[in-house]
Amino acid sequence: MSAPVRLSHRVSELFGLSRAEAEQFIQNGWVSVDGLVVEVPQHKVTLERVELDPGARLDAVEPATILLHKPSGVDAVYGDKSASSLVTPATRWAEDPSGERLLRRHFHRLTSPVPMDAEASGLMVLTQDGRVRRRLTEDADLIEHEYIVEVSGEIAPDGLQRLSYGLSFKGRALSPCKVSWQNETRLRFAIKGAQDGQLRDMCIQVGLGVVSIRRLRIGKVALGKGPSGAMPPGAWRYLPVGEKF
């Protein structure tokens, strides 16, 4: 039996590539071993069938930004049941329109630059891209978020007006926002710079209890709809190249 060798060494030999080129092709998901894509240059092979995708390119792979439909009760950042633990190859939305190739390296070092309550659901951003992270943090007060908030109870007589302008949170006067009734039990908020717990607190101040909160949009980026409807809870899609918040 042949002695095991690194996959990068075998690819270099088979396809007449430099070691650096072989490693880049492997890391970019263009190499398969017995029909399965392997992205680790150090992977050891012996007699397995090693193939290079005919469409392989040496272009650098851009850092990924993932848009997750976070279910209620999942912590945005911490714990065993954190949002990032939901992002796996198996949970990619079947109707993801981005056309991005799925690479396992896209699931490493994902951070969440936009706060989200554990009990809230809807659009959540997980990114490897420093440009996206800076945009969503440094310009947080300029980017409008859209929420649907299901409420209970009776709103104060001037409640809708006060939700739009006149409330404070943690001792700070809040900037104006747009609030309207979607139906008898659901309010639509279009708001900038909302902090953890702010929407719930705003509703309480006008006599309403909060049943659920769902984020539909961040800036110009929405949760996503396909032929079968909206992206379901627990599923994710890539932020396509050129789509900006």
Q: Tens digit of pLDDT for each residue in 84-143?
A: 889 999 999 999 999 888 998 898 889 899 888 888 999 999 999 999 999 999 999 999
Return the C-alpha torsion angle 69, 176, 133, 237, nearest 10.
20
Alpha-carbon distance 204 to 176, whole Å?
17
Tokens of 170: 């943690």
Q: What backbone torsions phi and psi does residue 54 show, to the nearest 5 degrees?
A: -60, -25
Alpha-carbon distance 173 to 202, whole Å?
11
Provide the strand spans (E) within 92-208: 121-127, 144-152, 168-169, 172-173, 178-181, 186-192
Domains identified in the chain and CATH numbers:
5-52 (3.10.290.10), 65-140+221-238 (3.30.70.580), 144-218 (3.30.70.1560)
152 pLDDT more than 70: yes
Distant-in-sequence, close-in-space partners of 222: CB < 8 Å, separation ≥ 6: 123, 216
pLDDT band, residue 30 (cuts 50/70/90): confident
Q: Tens digit of pLDDT for each residue in 34-64?
A: 988 888 888 998 888 999 988 888 887 789 9
